[in-house]
Chain A
Amino acid sequence: MKNTVKVERAKQNITQQELADKIGVSRQTINSVETQKYIPSTVLALKIAHAFNTTVNAIFELEDED
C-alpha cells in the first residue's frame, strides 16, 4: 500500500517526531509507515489523515499486489 505521509509532512513542514507526538505513536512507527515497512491499522490511518486535515483515501492508496 502506497502512501503520501512523507509528502504531506513536508507540505506542512513537520518532523516525524512532531507527527508521532500529535497522534500518540513512536517516531519509529511513523518512519515504518513512510517507508512502507508497516501497514497501519484503520485507526492509525484515520489519525494520520486527521492530523493532515484530509481523508484516508487521499493519503493511502492500494497497489496491484494488495
Chain B
Amino acid sequence: MKSTTSKYGRGLFPSYFKFIGLAVIVLSFVAAFFIRPHVTADQKPLAKTITINVIIVGLFLIAWTRSKVEDEMSVHLRFQSMAISFLFGIMFCLFHPVAGYFIDDTDLDISGQQLVMTMLLFFIFTYTIKRRSNK
C-alpha cells in the first residue's frame, strides 16, 4: 500500500530542518552575546532587530518542518495547533497592553516581531504537547 507520508508532508521542510532551526537560534544567541560589547548605542536597535529576526527564522524552520512520519493525523494536529496559536495571538494582542498598564509599563504597543515570535513559540509548544499526548 502506498505511503501517505509524502502526500501530507508536501510544502513542509524535511525533518532534519528541525536541527537547522535549533542551530540558527543557538547561533543567534551566541552571536548576540559576542557582538554586544562592540555595538554602539546607535547600532543597538538594529542589532536587536537582526537578532530577533534570526530567532524568528529559526522558530519558523522548527515549526514548518515535517514529522518523521507525516500523516493525516499530524496534519489534523498541526491545524489544531495553528488555530490555538492564532487565538493565543489575538488574546496576547488584547491583554498585553492591559497587563502593561497595570505594571506601569510605558510601552503598551506590541511589535509584529513580538507577536510572531509568541505565536510561533506557542504553536511549537502546542503541537509538541498534542503529539506527545497521542503516544
In this complex, how many residues of chain B approach chain A with their Cβ under 8 Å: the count is 16
For chain A, the bracket of interface size reads: 10 to 19
Tell me, yes or no, whether A51 is within 8 Å of chain B by CB: yes
In the bound assembly, the distance between CA atoms of A24 and B74 in angstroms comes to 13
In the bound assembly, the distance between CA atoms of A63 and B2 in angstroms comes to 30
DSSP majority for the A interface? Answer: helix
B5 — which chain A residues lie within 8 A by C-beta? 24-25
A22 — which chain B residues lie within 8 A by C-beta? 1
DSSP majority for the B interface? Answer: loop
Query: B74–A40 contact, CB under 8 A?
Result: no
Query: A32–B73 contact, CB under 8 A?
Result: yes
Separation in Å of the B58 CB from the closest CB of chain A? 25
B69 — which chain A residues lie within 8 A by C-beta? 20, 25-26
What is the interface of chain A, defined by CB distance below 8 A to chain B? 20, 22-26, 28-29, 31-32, 37-38, 40-41, 43-44, 47, 50-51
